[in-house]
Amino acid sequence: MEHEWHEVGERVFRKRFDPCDVTVTAVVGTDGVAVVDTRCSVAEAREVAEQIRRFTSAPVRWVVNTHAHFDHAWGNAEFLAPRQDPPARIWGHASLPARFDLDDPFVADILRQMRAAGPEWAAQVAGLELVPPTELVHESATIDLGGRLLELRHHGRGHTDADLWIRIPDAGVVLAGDLVEESGPPAFGLDSFPMQWAATLDRALDWMGPDAIIVPGHGEPVGREFVSTQRGMIDAVAREIARLHAAGVKAADAPAEGTWPLTTKELRDAIARGYAELT
Ligand SMILES: [Zn+2]
């Protein structure tokens, strides 16, 4: 299904893109456009750059990666010279550059999966150009788009150890990356922190304001209640991991021994990571 661009807040445009049903957001200021997340490849990011012209002629001057995962950050090079001149400034969490290294185990694993996924993905791998952010955020940063601000915050670990939240205060919009998922369950991968995720959501909820429109990394925008409910599910997973770990249940037996709000497949990495955090 082909999605369209939606103006989720004043001059804040978002669209869900396949593959991966990943959300890209374009925030338009007087001095230029900030693009949040860049899809899986330069070719896919080029589609974004072209489609943004439908609603603004302003240059893309800033790119923000919510986190390092391939579907959010591997199109960065589209917004740099020689493809774009002058280049945009690329922002991300301070831990991100290491995740753009081809020798990084997570990168190597994704590349392996892409090559195995068929000729279309293999072609993407062949044309890959990984460019990390150079504007690095430890805790917080603010970007002035000209007449409006973009606030970047790291509220702690969860989906990864290097997720950024982005708030556009004058539009009441918050971009959550994959810390919030609407089109599927929360994604616990082998780089996630299941035992810390709920507390991160608590801090983000305190920060975002009562009427925030929250744009997930995948799916449709949601409100605080949805995030609170998802926080409850993540907390339930963490509590069950802690209970089973304390009872001496082996990780391999935890899916069958516990009571869970997710399927065994969705839980597998959460349990592995949770046990690693507790041990
Ligand atoms: Zn992700």
Distance (Å) from CA 176 to ligand 1 centroid: 11
Say if residue 249 is exposed, middle or buried (CB neighbours under 10 Å; 0-12, 13-18, 19+): middle
Distance (Å) from CA 37 to ligand 1 centroid: 11
Token pair in block for residue 58: 């302003």
Token pair in block for residue 270: 């959460």
pLDDT at 172 over 80: yes
DSSP 179-233: EEESSSS----TT--HHHHHHHHHHHHHHH-TT-EEEEEESS-B-HHHHHHHHHH
Q: How far apart are CA 186 and CA 188, in angstroms?
A: 6
* CB neighbour burial string for 43-79, b if at least 16 within 10 angstroms, e if fewer: ebbbbbbebbeeeeebebbbbbbbbbbbbbbbbbbbb
Strand partners, 151: 142, 167
**Are the beta carbons of 155 and 137 closer than 8 angstroms?**
no
Distance (Å) from CA 247 to ligand 1 centroid: 31
What pLDDT sits at residue 1?
Answer: 66
Instruction: With cut-offs at 50, 70 and 90, classify the pLDDT of residue 120.
Output: confident
What pLDDT sits at residue 121?
Answer: 85
Distance (Å) from CA 31 to ligand 1 centroid: 30
Distance (Å) from CA 154 to ligand 1 centroid: 15
What pLDDT sits at residue 56?
Answer: 96
Distance (Å) from CA 279 to ligand 1 centroid: 25
Tell me how long the chain is: 279
Q: How far apart are CA 182 and CA 43, in angstroms?
A: 26
* CB neighbour burial string for 94-110, b if at least 16 within 10 angstroms, e if fewer: ebbbebbeeeeebbeeb
CATH superfamily for 6-224 is Ribonuclease Z/Hydroxyacylglutathione hydrolase-like (3.60.15.10)
Distance (Å) from CA 67 to ligand 1 centroid: 7
Domain positions in the chain are 6-224
Distance (Å) from CA 143 to ligand 1 centroid: 23
What is the mean predicted confidence (pLDDT) over 90-102? 95
What is the mean predicted confidence (pLDDT) over 55-80? 97
Rg of the chain (C-alpha set): 19
Pairing type for strands 135-137 and 89-93 reads parallel
Distance (Å) from CA 55 to ligand 1 centroid: 27
What pLDDT sits at residue 3?
Answer: 87
pLDDT averaged over every residue in the chain: 96
pLDDT in tens, 130-169: 999 999 999 999 999 999 999 999 999 999 999 999 999 9
Instruction: With cut-offs at 50, 70 and 90, classify the pLDDT of residue 8.
Output: very high
What pLDDT sits at residue 124?
Answer: 81
Pairing type for strands 12-17 and 22-28 reads antiparallel
Distance (Å) from CA 248 to ligand 1 centroid: 31
| Distance spanning both ends of the chain, measured CA to CA | 44
**Percentage of the chain with pLDDT > 90?**
90
